[in-house]
Structure 1
Amino acid sequence: MGLPQPDLCKATGRASRKHDSSWSRLPFAFRVLLCSLVVISLVLYKSCGSAFLPICHLPRFWLAGSCSGLAGSLPPDVNSTTCPQWAALQPTKHRGLSEDLDVAYNSEDFKQKAIQALGDAVRVPTESYDDNGPVGEDSRWDTFAELHQVLQATFPRVYESLNVTKVNTYGLIFQWQGSTTAKPYILAAHQDVVPVDGQTVKEWKHDPYSGHYDGTWIWGRGSCDDKSDLVRQLLAIDSLLKQGFSPARTLILAYGFDEESKGIEGAGHLAQYLEETYGRDSIALLLDEGDLYTDIGGTVFATPSISEKGYLDVQITLSTLGGHSSIPPSHTSIGLLSRFIAAVEDNPHPADLSRTGTPFAMTQCLAAYNPMYPEDLRVLARKAVTDDGALKVLQERLLASDPLYKAMLGTTQAVDLVEGGVKVNALPERASAVVNHRIAEHSSVGELQQHLIDLLAPVAVKYDLALVAFGNNVTCGGSGQVILSDFLGAALEPSPVTPTEYGPWALLQGSIKAAFESSPTRNSSKVVVMPYLSLGNTDTHSYWNLTNHIFRFSPSFDTDVYNGLHTVNEAYRADSLNEGVRFYTKFILNVDESDLP
């Protein structure tokens, strides 16, 4: 496959000694030109005064590290053209405030305050169910009023200083009015949790709504998903208020209450309120819950999601004449349904590793910085940037290496529900199955529906069945009918892809690095920030009209979660509370100081 090509990054600094051989192989004239550009950039940066700040703001986000060729993985502080890294961005105007709060967040008093706040929030069982009725008609929503009381008692300063609006009774909007006309930005989280199965309560180490702190973990449903994000955001704002901070840019907190079910009653109403109040494309950026930090072979990756897969549950319903089982036809409705299910499963959706897709960007980051990455695959990934043949081979290798890539590179399908028949000696007049689809970033609901029509129409014709697909008559038949429909009406297109370039992405990346590198528990270690594709969906799907810059990131390590989400023994590491508040604080201050529109 040949030797890896030099990594010609745009970063400042000299070539790393580790990669001197790659650097020395470059033509001398090109080396002179590249270094000249670096020197010119540094001179411009040093000479910029406040009058030129809008022009010279870019060096503040200047790509981190020095130029070097790719021989093995790069260290986190060396930049790669295939996975651009912006330098840590510490607040400048409010540097003293940021440093003072760094000290405060490291104190035992603050840690105990944070533990108490999350424990109190967890103790309120704000469960949301798939079959919840509208607010005002279903009494199960009433528990959210108790959570609101807890939040107001815990954060009285926030409630007194910010404008608080309740939307559809239990949705929360906090508005921290800024002094300028710059676009507002949003921090989001959700108040609800998935229900606890009563049959599993005995398997919990501590009661699922105890909020118990055992010296390391805070136990209970919602401690990880997503009350930890909500509480840490409020702790950061409360701390800033306590220090007398007043924002230049308006900050909005948006907290829905049915993210774990339909998202209609909560974020759906919040989005409508925000669009009516501020207008379309009125928000500079939005940050919601999402993926985490993870340590791979000693290199830490932060993985903010910049897009989400789409969603469609397709119900296949077979209807045939009934009768006594002693005189059966060749195929009952259940037997016919099995043919359609087999056709679906025998024809999975093709994968596509597109250079313009998020999975390709993620792969390039892993190839550049993951020390555990197979060397031949690393070289292949580099070649795939421009070589179509290498791209095809890379896709095949990735699909063979990890089942996760099958989910990331294409639309997935899973037959999750089947039902049919009422009695052992009666022919089933109806049988149905529901196929769950997570739609690839490059596809759409319409493309998926057409795929199913093209696939299943011949099966319907073969068995003389009328096919009605998504409201349209497709085939005729005299032996029965098969209907394809959107189960529960929950179809969702793949999300728009957030740009990963200078601007909001660079600001988020710089804030992550600043919080991580200044952490007293990380010993100034570095972190790689790479874009990620979320396979699930968050409340962000309600906010597409507000901004093109939507990020999904929770400032926690995967090891800060005791036993995963939506399962028995959900628990959250207490030390991560302080670190998360540190991140939200730096992010708020950096956005406030930024030159974003």
Structure 2
Amino acid sequence: MAPAHLDVVCRPTNGKTPRKHWHESGWSRSLLTFRVLMYSLAIISLVLYTFCDSAFFPICYLPRFWLAGHCNGLAELLSPGVNSTTCPQWTALHPTKYRGLSEDLDVAYNSEDFKQRAIQALGDAVRVPTESYDDNGPVGEDSRWDTFAELHRVLEASFPRIYKSLNVTKVNTYGLIFHWQGSTSAKPYILTAHQDVVPVEEQTIEEWKHDPYSGYYDGTWIWGRGTCDDKGDLIRQLLAIDSLLKQGFSPARTLILSYGFDEESKGIEGAGHLARYLEETYGRDSFALLLDEGDLYTDTGGIVFATPSTSEKGYLDVKITVSTLGGHSSVPPSHTSIGLLSRFIAAVEDNPHQASLSRRGTPFATTQCLAAYDPAYPEDLRKLARKAVADDAALKVLQERLLASDPLYKAVLGTTQAVDLIEGGVKVNALPERANAVVNHRIAEHSSVAELQQHMIDLLTPLATKYDLALVAFGSNVTRGGAGEVVLSDFLGTALEPSPVTPTGYGPWALLQGSIKAAFESSPTRNSSKVVVVPSLSIGNTDTQFYWNLTKHIFRFSPSFDTDRFNGEHTVNEGKRCSVTLFSLLMQFPKLAFRADSMNEGVRFYTKFILNVDESDLP
């Protein structure tokens, strides 16, 4: 029997109560038949829900989603998690066809021998300083790329079984494609990571506790640049595949590993070429899903939140160049090019972009999940979040409250801008003929490059007119002027639209959820944790920007705790130890060093994920 507080009767979706004497009407038999069918479907759905063994087979999803659309009380009763329909949670997804294999590998991953092997493999990779620079020239012309050849030799020495069993293709010399052919025609899928790291500043080397490229293991931490970002993910993926090969596993679904080598700079030489190769080889929208580096786990005290990013903000660096006549500074004009530039900069900073919380956006989905599952979430915000699902006034108040509660929300809900570079003048007594500044923008999920460009034009046109300057904006003449010129341009040509938003219904998203939870349930140290999987927005950009044409299901997730990473990303003394709030975690990129124990747990996740995808009914 259903709990007394639940109304399990299906009602018309308009909420109206049927007339008292409905049986006297001419359509009574049709309505009665309809109700019988609805009750029958509800019962069948309940049976299927109860006895389905795996949470990702389509027949197992139908009961949940049909009920959610037709029955108020029963849908709540059967909904996942804590009866949250705004943030559905699927149960742990353990391999069924490969159950024995999965359990055997769980035992192997718990061993000290495997841990030491993982430590050695990551340390060896870290000891190769694969730095990528913003000013790198093309491959074949810039010798700084040559260090990646040494990393390839290290990887082949560490994983000879993979190099023998999988087809290895090198794209643009240093991009790596590992092709693991499946036995069926199901869509293949992609795991990605990147081989490069952020350069170490020479003047900071003495500040490192251990040499930044030592790969040193101190009994707890593996030290060195790239341990987390992103050689840790790369090595854990290879360890999982090597373990499966060792057990004789042969996939039904083709798996592609795609490893770029300039993610920390532009990505064009690495992932740019790799994605083009894959599209030419397999075709557009030819992959079931893609998993890349991304957000992490965090423990809020009893509940672990996993926060895969399902979208990324866009990107645009706007260069503002002001040109005026030069001359001797003893006879200056009212405003030099530097003075005029300062006014344009002030106008930009005085007019920040407005934040917006939209029900269609990823931040709204994140907020709903935190309100539903985080016990520490403020109760007033929890109530507002629930009301905001259908109440526009509540949505507006929720947006205001979130922005007031933490400045990080401004970065999530709107386009950000930061004046990061400025240049002008060559001599103290010479009028500067040219001055320029670069404004970095991270474009909101709901906006676009074109909208941002128009915002800059609308904002700066009045100033250009006021000071009699010709305005040329992104290749178009906007105003004329006789005192000089101001040019708005895309600095370095790196404009990037906000990414497509990955669907978070059943299918690939539920499979990822279930795999994350299965990895926890199988862990000897984490199996008591309650895990909630939350979609999040990445305010940074990854190599996934190049793969949009290949699949609609792109996830950015690194299976590590925030506390497994020491100090911070792109900084001195990279290692695994950093505690942050849940919300801060959703904003951060992966840090750069690993606690050794997290190597085993990451391999466990990748193994579950590979086996689950392989036996799934995804297209």
- TM-score normalised by L of structure 2: 0.88
Q: State the distance in 1 between where 2:388 and 2:488 align.
A: 39
In structure 1, the residue matched to 2:522 is 518
CA contact 2:58–2:617 (8 Å) conserved in 1:
no
Q: Is structure 2 residue 148 aligned with structure 1 residue 144?
A: yes
Q: Distance in 1 between matches of 2:51 and 2:440?
A: 58
8 Å contact from structure 1 (residues 76, 527) kept in 2:
no
The whole-number CA distance in structure 2 between the counterparts of 1:55 and 1:111 is: 37
Q: 1:58: how far off?
A: 2.8
Which aligned pairs between 1:187-198 and structure 2 lie closer than 5 A? 187-198=191-202
Task: Show CA shifts across 1:410-465 (max 9, x none).
Answer: 10000000111111111111110000000000111011001100110001001100
SS at match of 1:501: coil
Could you say if the C-alpha distance between residues 28 and 318 of structure 1 is closer, same or farther in structure 2, counting changes exceeding 3 Å? Answer: closer
Q: Give the match's secondary structure for 2:298.
A: strand
Alignment of 1:268-307 (within 5 A): 268-307=272-311
Q: In the aligned structure 1, how far is the partner of 2:432 from the partner of 2:58? A: 72
- Percent identity, aligned pairs only? 83
Question: Deviation digits for residues 461-513 of structure 1, max 9, x if unmatched?
Answer: 01100000001000000111000000000000100000000111111111111
Partner of residue 212, structure 1: 216
SS in 2 for 1:143: helix
Matched residue, 1:451? 455
CA contact (8 A) 1:121 1:147 kept: yes
CA contact (8 A) 2:80 2:90 kept: no
What's 2:489 paired with?
Answer: 485
Q: CA shift at 1:77, angstroms? A: 4.2
Q: Which residue of 2 aligns with 1:366?
A: 370
* Aligned-partner Cα distance in 2 for 1:40–1:281: 35
Question: How far apart are the structure 2 equivalents of 1:55 and 1:174?
Answer: 30
Look up the match of 2:61.
58
Task: Indicate yes or no: 2:355 matched with 1:333.
Answer: no
Which residues in structure 2 correspond to 1:126-275 (within 5 Å)? 126-275=130-279
Q: Separation in 1 of the partners of 2:392 and 2:328?
A: 60
Whether the 8 Å CA contact 2:317–2:439 is kept in 1: the answer is: yes
Aligned partners of 2:497, 2:186: CA distance in 1, in Å? 30
Contact 1:68 1:78 in 2 (8 A): no
Q: Which amino acid aligns with 1:280?
A: R
CA distance in 2, matches of 1:49, 1:393: 42
Query: Any idea what the Cα deviations from partners look like across 1:153-190, whole Å, max 9, x if unmatched?
Result: 00000000000000000000000000000000000000
Q: Is the 8 A contact 1:306 1:531 kept in 2?
A: yes
| Letter of the 1:524 counterpart | S
Question: What is the alpha-carbon distance in structure 2 between the residues aligned to residue 327 and residue 479 of structure 1?
Answer: 16
Cα separation, partners in 2 of 1:45 and 1:379, compared to 1, 3 Å = closer
| C-alpha distance in structure 1 between counterparts of 2:107 and 2:420, whole Å | 50
1:236-293 per-position Cα deviation (integer Å, ceiling 9, x unaligned) = 0000000000000000000000000010000000001000100000000000000000
Bigger Cα displacement from structure 2, 332-341 vs 31-40: 31-40
For the structure 1 residues 521 and 77, does the alpha-carbon distance in structure 2 shift closer, same or farther, using more than 3 Å as the test? Answer: farther
Name the CA distance, whole Å, in 1 between partners of 2:224 and 2:328.
52
Question: Is the Cα contact below 8 Å between 2:316 and 2:441 reproduced in 1?
Answer: yes
The offset of 1:404, in angstroms, is 1.4
Give the distance between the partners of 1:112 and 1:321, measured in 2 at CA: 67
Write the distance in 1 (CA, Å) between the matches of 2:333 and 2:518.
70
2:560 maps to 1:561: no
Q: Is the 8 A contact 1:79 1:85 kept in 2?
A: no
CA shift for structure 1 position 37: 7.0
Instruction: Tell me the CA shift for residue 524 of structure 1.
Output: 3.0
* Counterpart secondary structure, 1:422: coil
Please name the residue that 2:433 is paired with: 429
Establish whether residue 408 from structure 1 lines up as the match of residue 412 from structure 2: yes
Question: For the residues of structure 2 that align with 1:76 and 1:387, how far apart are their CA atoms?
Answer: 24
Counterpart among 104, 108, 118 of residue 104 in structure 1: 108
Structure 2 stretches of 5 or more lacking a match?
A: 12-34, 67-71, 576-593
What amino acid maps onto 1:452 in structure 2?
M
Tell me if 1:357 matches 2:357.
Answer: no
Shift of 1:371: 1.3
TM-score (norm 1): 0.91
Is 1:583 aligned to residue 605 of structure 2? yes
Q: 1:210 to 1:54 in 2, by over 3 A?
A: closer
- Pairwise CA distance, 1:575: 0.3
Task: State how far apart, in whole Å, the 1-side matches of 2:541 and 2:370 are.
Answer: 23
Q: How far apart are the structure 2 equivalents of 1:546 and 1:54?
A: 23
Note if contact 2:179-2:256 (Cα within 8 Å) is conserved in structure 1: yes
Match of 1:549 among 553, 576, 595: 553
Contact 1:76 1:369 in 2 (8 A): no
Note if contact 1:61-1:86 (Cα within 8 Å) is conserved in structure 2: no
Deviations along 1:116-153, one digit per CA (max 9) or x if unpaired, are 00000000000000000000000000000000000000
1:322 to 322, 326, 340: 326
Deviates more, 1:259-268 or 1:290-299: 290-299
One-letter amino acid of the structure 2 residue matched with residue 219 of structure 1: W
Matches within 5 A, 1:385-400: 385-400=389-404
CA gap of 1:524–1:76, structure 2 versus 1, over 3 A, is: farther
Whether 1:93 and 2:97 are equivalent positions in the alignment is yes
Structure 1 gap segments, 5+ residues each: 1-13, 16-22, 70-74
Cα pair 1:62 1:86 within 8 Å, conserved: no
Specify the SS of the correspondent of 1:187. strand
Three-state SS of the structure 2 residue aligned to 1:373 is coil
How many angstroms apart in 1 are the aligned matches of 2:404 and 2:298?
23
Aligned-partner Cα distance in 2 for 1:544–1:570: 31
Pairwise CA distance, 1:41: 2.5
